[in-house]
A and B are shown apart, each in its own frame.
Chain A
């Protein structure tokens, strides 16, 4: 009888991993439900004695056991997709059972927490500072400085809050950590709590991740004695994208509308219930146990490029042949990621655009693919790393439509607190619609003789493009948070790189416009 390893990650389960596991178990084999290796195009992936088979269906069960399956991919650990990665946060991916304390301890678990307790809070923060770890949620703020601020701020109660409201399309690394290696995240939170003097933690997880909620709850129950006196609890979001913004997340945790708060005061000084609070992303906290392990900080800061230190779990998504989780040191180029690692598009058509950083990230043109993964390099190119999700589009994509969707999404998800985002996004959709319709004629009111200052010729697409640019400027600089502030990135990058997608049949439309005016 064999030991068969099949992932119980939500993605594998969505593709039939449970049925597959049951089929192996029914034949008398021992099935270990592990985390996912992150090779999503091969899920459900079956592993027997280190050899992989995928994507496997029920019909493949017998051939796999007989050794004649055409789904064989050879030794998993030597697969090029795995071999060329540098995995720290995802070091256990594919190899351990997510909620098994035994597996976690056997793979170096809790070593970081033990060392942090030994060296004390101050040196723990020094280690995080030395590692150069920056917030993985998107803003890239140095984690150690945030911790230091919380540690130095007096308060009767402090909190550690994990931002697990991973709402960005094209990102799933948080989900994979929570489902695949929950103890690592919990250990990171316990270390943070120890460093800043917090006694209570909350993991704010989005409601769209039922598997992650279940596993985290289970893991927290099993390891309560290990992290004590620190206590931690999972709180479930309620479908509001904006709650991924830290201040709106805090309001939501407090039981309020998830409206953004103006900063200052910083959450580090007045956060949850007005108390000093560390708010970090899942990936930031999950990177901490490695950094706190013996020699971890020094190792971490040798990796990466410039001021972007360490590794980044990059998520290859959308129309890509080899999609999945690819963790590597900062500095890798987009071309390498998409073509060498990702194998180009899944549809086999040419790549047209790549959105990096989720719905608020810029669309990059293939001409820009030499850009290297680094916070500063992306900022210089008017783009974002964000949460390191990469969504690939082939040449059938309509970028004008995607720009419109960015505005539509912002309008749907705006918390409503600030005007540029709440109203700007709605006007943005309307302007893009007008541009794509080829402008509009003067309306009844504009044509009234008393409206001396109103243009009588209607509006040309060029004028609306100028208006859209102006609106984007206002949203970028006038919004309270990144939702309104960054929506201009996808819109303006699409407009700049693919202007033809905004003006379908433009000449004809403009002629019509003039005709209508004369009529």
Chain B
């Protein structure tokens, strides 16, 4: 396994010459390391001729980028209006219990399955028309 600076350098090289490359770079770094930490910020800033503050400002602005990695599996649960109308709030106690300390529950606002909520997402896998039992199963299998 190559070192972290090498891997980040490889990601930076992939995006060389693109217009506005910062977000695509941050997505790749986030996917690779599970976070965009201070070290990564400094390397990216240096490469793009930005200050670390500039890069940190961007990282901290977006919900998808995290400052530290969390090894737990993540289950995203939609709690926006349409899923609320279909009763997601009543499932949250069950979800919290099923998740315990093992799974990180993350509230998102809309997965685009608004006619078939409540909806959840694990990785790139979506789940819809959830009730307490099926949501608990999704969380247990995460």
Chain A contact residues, CB within 8 Å of chain B = 10-11, 13-15, 40-41, 43, 166-172, 175, 200, 207-211, 235-241, 252-259, 273, 315-320, 323-324, 346, 355, 358-359, 389, 391-394, 397, 402, 405, 409, 412-413, 415
**Contact assessment for B21 and A169 in the assembled complex, using a CB-CB cutoff below 8 Å:** no
Closest 5 CB pairs of A and B: A323-B115, A255-B22, A169-B80, A239-B63, A238-B62
Q: Choose from B26, B63, B84, B110 the contact partner of A405 (Cβ within 8 Å).
A: B84
Q: Given contacts A43-B116, A317-B115, is CB(A169)–CB(B62) below 8 Å?
A: no
**Contact assessment for B109 and A167 in the assembled complex, using a CB-CB cutoff below 8 Å:** yes
| Closest beta carbon of chain B to A362's beta carbon, Å | 12
In the complex, chain B residues 108-123 whose Cβ is within 8 Å of any chain A Cβ: 108-117, 119, 121
| Closest beta carbon of chain A to B108's beta carbon, Å | 7
* Residue B52 CB within 8 A of the other chain: no
**Contact assessment for B110 and A391 in the assembled complex, using a CB-CB cutoff below 8 Å:** no
**Contact assessment for B128 and A15 in the assembled complex, using a CB-CB cutoff below 8 Å:** yes
Sample of 8 further A-B pairs with CB below 8 A, known A11-B128, A40-B115: A11-B126, A169-B80, A208-B108, A208-B112, A208-B121, A273-B19, A317-B115, A402-B84
In the complex, chain B residues 80-108 whose Cβ is within 8 Å of any chain A Cβ: 80-86, 108
| Closest beta carbon of chain B to A436's beta carbon, Å | 16
**Contact assessment for B20 and A255 in the assembled complex, using a CB-CB cutoff below 8 Å:** yes
How many chain B residues have a CB neighbour from A under 8 Å?
A: 41
* Residue B6 CB within 8 A of the other chain: no
Residues of B within 8 A of A259 (CB): 61
| Closest beta carbon of chain A to B45's beta carbon, Å | 12
| Closest beta carbon of chain B to A49's beta carbon, Å | 26
**Contact assessment for A175 and B85 in the assembled complex, using a CB-CB cutoff below 8 Å:** no
| Closest beta carbon of chain B to A331's beta carbon, Å | 23
Q: Choose from A41, A235, A256, A315 the contact partner of B114 (Cβ within 8 Å).
A: A315
* Residue B64 CB within 8 A of the other chain: yes
In Å, the complex CA distance between A392 and B24 comes to: 37
**Contact assessment for A10 and B113 in the assembled complex, using a CB-CB cutoff below 8 Å:** yes
In Å, the complex CA distance between A209 and B111 comes to: 7
Chain B contact residues, CB within 8 Å of chain A = 19-24, 26-27, 48, 57-58, 61-65, 78, 80-86, 108-117, 119, 121, 124, 126-129
**Contact assessment for A324 and B64 in the assembled complex, using a CB-CB cutoff below 8 Å:** no
Residue in B21, B22, B27, B109 whose Cβ sees the most chain A Cβ within 10 Å? B109
Return the chain A residue nearest B114 by Cβ.
A317
Residues of B within 8 A of A359 (CB): 80-81, 109
In Å, the complex CA distance between A240 and B119 comes to: 19
| Closest beta carbon of chain A to B102's beta carbon, Å | 23
In Å, the complex CA distance between A168 and B82 comes to: 10
Q: Could you count the A-B residue pairs with CB atoms below 8 Å apart for me: how many are there?
A: 151
Residues of A within 8 A of B63 (CB): 238-240
Residues of A within 8 A of B26 (CB): 238
**Contact assessment for A240 and B27 in the assembled complex, using a CB-CB cutoff below 8 Å:** no
In Å, the complex CA distance between A211 and B121 comes to: 12
Residues of A within 8 A of B111 (CB): 208
Return the chain B residue nearest A207 by Cβ.
B64
**Contact assessment for B27 and A238 in the assembled complex, using a CB-CB cutoff below 8 Å:** yes
**Contact assessment for A323 and B112 in the assembled complex, using a CB-CB cutoff below 8 Å:** no
Residues of B within 8 A of A324 (CB): 115
Q: Given contacts A255-B58, A402-B84, is CB(A315)–CB(B21) below 8 Å?
A: no
In Å, the complex CA distance between A236 and B65 comes to: 13
**Contact assessment for B110 and A169 in the assembled complex, using a CB-CB cutoff below 8 Å:** yes
**Contact assessment for B23 and A175 in the assembled complex, using a CB-CB cutoff below 8 Å:** no
In Å, the complex CA distance between A166 and B110 comes to: 9
Residues of B within 8 A of A317 (CB): 82, 85, 114-115, 117
Q: Given contacts A255-B21, A397-B85, is CB(A172)–CB(B115) below 8 Å?
A: yes
Residues of B within 8 A of A237 (CB): 23, 62, 64
**Contact assessment for B128 and A14 in the assembled complex, using a CB-CB cutoff below 8 Å:** yes
Residues of B within 8 A of A239 (CB): 62-64, 108
Residues of B within 8 A of A210 (CB): 124
In Å, the complex CA distance between A324 and B112 comes to: 11
| Closest beta carbon of chain A to B70's beta carbon, Å | 15
Residues of A within 8 A of B113 (CB): 10-11, 14, 172
Residue in A255, A259, A324 whose Cβ sees the most chain B Cβ within 10 Å? A255
Q: List 15 A-B contacts (CB under 8 A).
A: A11-B126, A40-B116, A41-B115, A170-B114, A211-B124, A237-B64, A239-B63, A253-B23, A258-B61, A315-B114, A317-B117, A318-B82, A319-B86, A358-B81, A413-B109
Residue in B22, B81, B116 whose Cβ sees the most chain A Cβ within 10 Å? B81
Q: Choose from A172, A257, A323 the contact partner of B57 (Cβ within 8 Å).
A: A257
In Å, the complex CA distance between A11 and B116 comes to: 8
In Å, the complex CA distance between A175 and B126 comes to: 14
Residues of B within 8 A of A405 (CB): 81, 84
Residue in A200, A208, A240, A389 whose Cβ sees the most chain B Cβ within 10 Å? A208
Residues of A within 8 A of B85 (CB): 317-319, 391-394, 397
| Closest beta carbon of chain B to A454's beta carbon, Å | 38
**Contact assessment for B57 and A320 in the assembled complex, using a CB-CB cutoff below 8 Å:** no
Q: Given contacts A319-B85, A402-B81, A402-B84, is CB(A166)–CB(B62) below 8 Å?
A: no
In Å, the complex CA distance between A8 and B108 comes to: 23
In Å, the complex CA distance between A253 and B129 comes to: 34
Q: Given contacts A346-B86, A391-B82, is CB(A238)–CB(B64) below 8 Å?
A: yes
Q: Choose from A209, A238, A273, A402 the contact partner of B112 (Cβ within 8 Å).
A: A209
In Å, the complex CA distance between A236 and B30 comes to: 13
Residues of B within 8 A of A253 (CB): 20, 23
Q: Choose from B80, B86, B112, B129 the contact partner of A10 (Cβ within 8 Å).
A: B112
Residues of B within 8 A of A168 (CB): 110
Residues of B within 8 A of A170 (CB): 80-82, 114
Q: Choose from B23, B86, B109 the contact partner of A252 (Cβ within 8 Å).
A: B23
Residues of B within 8 A of A393 (CB): 85
**Contact assessment for A391 and B114 in the assembled complex, using a CB-CB cutoff below 8 Å:** yes
**Contact assessment for B109 and A169 in the assembled complex, using a CB-CB cutoff below 8 Å:** yes
